[in-house]
Amino acid sequence: MRKREEMALITLPAIRRAAVCGGTHGNELTGVYLVPELERQRREKGDCIWPVPVTTVLSNPRAVKECKRYVDKDLNRCFTSAILSSPVTDTTPYEVRRAQELNALLGPKGTKDAADLICDLHNTTANMGLTVISYSYTDWVALHVYKHLQEKITNVPVRLILLNIPISDAYSLESVARHGISLEVGPQPHGVVRADIFDIMKEGVDVVLDWIKTFNSGKLIEGGEVDAFMFEKSVDYPRDPEARKPLAVIHPQLQDQDFCVLKRGDPLFLTFSGETVRYDEEEQLHPFFINEAAYYEKGIAFHLARKKTLVLPSVRLKSD
């Protein structure tokens, strides 16, 4: 048995300002519909429904209007420090301008003025249940929020992906905040709202806000262990070397099996001529974002992750 390490206690400043963002990808409709619904609730019942001021944002309104992922460029790849500080000219893509606007509203990234927590809402066509994506394995707020989601949401698998990229290179919207998470819920076709997926996301946002309330109240939040999937690499479809067209589809035995363990010999792809392409690595890794529609143009059939157990310290509010 694994020896249980003694848990540390870490004190952290209060979460004073949070943001919930939807429509960062304009055709991922759960967030596009949930953000106005949160705003409707606030109009009806007042700010007091939330434990802290929550900025609600429809991140890419032009893409939302056209019901497409983006207009000129994937907005959720525009939040690196380099792009956020690049000069704006007449030819600057719409999403780069919009990223800089959002950075002014919710950041600036890496400064003390930045929002304490951004929760960005996404959908995937992959069978990923509720997946939390975050950047760092030492961001105790993000990791404790994930732990709370996993404890509270029991009708769907809840998992954590860590990208482990330095914050300046982190490219997605939530990296603008001091602590950022994105919530991915699927499977759902882009351009569709499903009631079941909407409910999971709504519950997810409620649980995030509930964690903030508990934490801000000064109560001790116990540490413990959580499993994380550490991003390792992306795998493309087998392609025709000249025309670059895919020669295969995700194997039916792999389709919908996100986060399963891949062992040498397991099927990955089925070519149109009927051959099975198999996993050929020594190390057992875990695939995710399997057959995500938005990744066809990026040359990604799925990502692979290494599973790792993280030990979280207990956390409590730092007294002023």
Least distance to a copy of itself from the beta carbon of 284, Å?
Answer: 23
Stretch that binds a copy of itself, among 108-116, 160-168, 293-301, 310-318 (CB under 8 A): 293-301
Contact partners, residue 38, CB within 8 Å, separation at least 6: 20, 54, 56, 205
Which ranges in the chain belong to alpha helices (H)? 29-45, 61-66, 81-84, 94-106, 140-152, 195-216
Q: By CB under 8 A, is residue 297 in contact with a copy of itself? A: yes
Let me know: does 121 contact 205? Beta carbons within 8 Å. Answer: yes
Binding mask 152-191 for a copy of itself (x = CB under 8 A): -----------------------------------xxxxx
Pairing of strands 179-186, 224-235: unpaired
Q: By CB under 8 A, is residue 22 in contact with a copy of itself? A: no
Beta bridge partners of 311: 225
Q: By CB under 8 A, is residue 296 in contact with a copy of itself? A: yes
Stretch that binds a copy of itself, among 3-11, 109-117, 172-180, 243-251 (CB under 8 A): 243-251
Q: By CB under 8 A, is residue 196 in contact with a copy of itself? A: yes
Stretch that binds a copy of itself, among 33-41, 49-57, 133-141, 151-159 (CB under 8 A): 33-41
Question: In Å, how far are 58, 94, 96, 168 from 78, measured between CA atoms?
Answer: 16, 11, 6, 11
CA 5 to chain centre: 29
Q: By CB under 8 A, is residue 270 in contact with a copy of itself? A: yes
Among 5, 8, 40, 227, binds a copy of itself (CB under 8 A): 40
Q: By CB under 8 A, is residue 105 in contact with a copy of itself? A: no
Let me know: does 27 contact 69? Beta carbons within 8 Å. Answer: yes
Helix (H, G, I), strand (E, B) or coil at 38: helix
The two tokens of residue 295 are 């990744």
Nearer to a copy of itself, 297 or 320 (CB): 297
Nearer to a copy of itself, 159 or 190 (CB): 190
Q: By CB under 8 A, is residue 245 in contact with a copy of itself? A: yes
Q: By CB under 8 A, is residue 303 in contact with a copy of itself? A: no
Among 20, 78, 294, 304, binds a copy of itself (CB under 8 A): 294
Among 9, 49, 67, 220, binds a copy of itself (CB under 8 A): 67
Pairing of strands 302-312, 286-288: antiparallel
Let me know: does 226 contact 208? Beta carbons within 8 Å. Answer: no
Size of the site for a copy of itself (CB under 8 A): 33
Question: In Å, how far are 8, 23, 151, 222 from 20, measured between CA atoms?
Answer: 30, 11, 21, 25
Among 252, 281, 284, 318, binds a copy of itself (CB under 8 A): 252
The two tokens of residue 182 are 């994105």
Nearer to a copy of itself, 73 or 316 (CB): 73
Q: By CB under 8 A, is residue 299 in contact with a copy of itself? A: no
Let me know: does 94 contact 155? Beta carbons within 8 Å. Answer: no
Let me know: does 226 contact 312? Beta carbons within 8 Å. Answer: yes
Stretch that binds a copy of itself, among 18-26, 32-40, 70-78, 257-265 (CB under 8 A): 32-40
Pairing of strands 158-162, 224-235: parallel
Let me know: does 307 contact 286? Beta carbons within 8 Å. Answer: yes
Q: Which residues bind a copy of itself (CB under 8 A)?
A: 33, 36-37, 40, 67-68, 125, 187-196, 198-199, 245-246, 249-252, 255, 270, 272, 291, 293-294, 296-297
